[in-house]
Amino acid sequence: MFSALILAGLAAGAAPPEDVQTVVVDVAFGGLTPERVLATLQVADADAEVVLVDDGTDPHDARGDRVYTGSHRGPLVQYLPLTLTVDLDGKRQDVYTGTLRVGMERSVSLAFEVTTGAGGVLTGVRRASAAPGRMSHATEAVPLVASAVWAVLALVAGAVGLKVRRGTEAE
């Protein structure tokens, strides 16, 4: 039935539903305040440049919290080539270059933390969240902690079940 409606709409000249993907990029900086942060995404064999800002327009961020956010709407992709570039102290540096598997989701959130390494080289690391400062490390621990809690609960339930079973066998 649904496919018949789509075919009828196409026959009448209506456009098919558009498959678009929104990619949101968050980049957190510890003690650094860059002049410009740029994400270059390669989508449909073309580069899309997204300027990331720290102006508080993202509902999850506050102005001046050193979390820079930007978004891009484009066609659905499963793999997304991405380069993060930072202008700091008059120098432009690529801090991250890679291809990320984003799946075929309509909304994708990517988070990075930029730190200063040896020799003043900036390095971007993918994080679970772009929480300001060192909070991003804490958000990465949540799945591990949740798994540990479930494992302990399973062990306790198994031990209780074994004790109950042995108690009924003794009677």
Question: How far is Cα 165 from Cα 169, in angstroms, rounded to an integer?
Answer: 6
Say which CATH number the domain at 97 has. Answer: 2.60.40.10
Q: What DSSP element (H or E) covers 23?
A: strand 20-29
Q: Does residue 22 belong to any structural domain of this protein?
A: yes
Q: Does residue 151 belong to any structural domain of this protein?
A: no
Q: State both tokens at 60.
A: 């999850």
Q: State both tokens at 65.
A: 């919290």
pLDDT in tens, 157-170: 888 887 777 766 66
Q: Does residue 106 belong to any structural domain of this protein?
A: yes
pLDDT in tens, 30-72: 788 899 999 999 988 889 999 999 988 776 677 888 889 999 9
Task: Look over the chain and give the mean of its residue pLDDT values, rounded to a whole number.
Answer: 79
Q: Does residue 124 belong to any structural domain of this protein?
A: yes
Q: State both tokens at 115.
A: 């730190």
pLDDT at residue 85 in the model: 95
Q: Does residue 114 belong to any structural domain of this protein?
A: yes
Question: How far is Cα 98 from Cα 83, in angstroms, rounded to an integer?
Answer: 7
Structurally, the chain folds into a number of domains equal to 1
143, pLDDT greater than 70: no
- Give bridge partners of residue 150 from the DSSP assignment: none
Q: Does residue 127 belong to any structural domain of this protein?
A: yes
Q: How many residues does the chain have?
A: 171
Q: Does residue 30 belong to any structural domain of this protein?
A: yes
Amino acid sitting at position 91? K
Q: Does residue 47 belong to any structural domain of this protein?
A: yes
From 19-23, 117-121, 130-134, the region with the lowest mean pLDDT: 130-134
List, in order, residues 6 or more apart from 19 with CB less than 8 Å away: 75, 76
pTM: 0.63
pLDDT in tens, 82-131: 999 999 889 999 999 999 998 888 888 999 999 888 887 888 988 876 65
Residue 93's domain spans which residues?
A: 17-133
Identify the burial level of 153 via C-beta atoms within 10 angstroms of its C-beta, where 0-12 means exposed, 13-18 middle and 19 or more buried. Answer: exposed
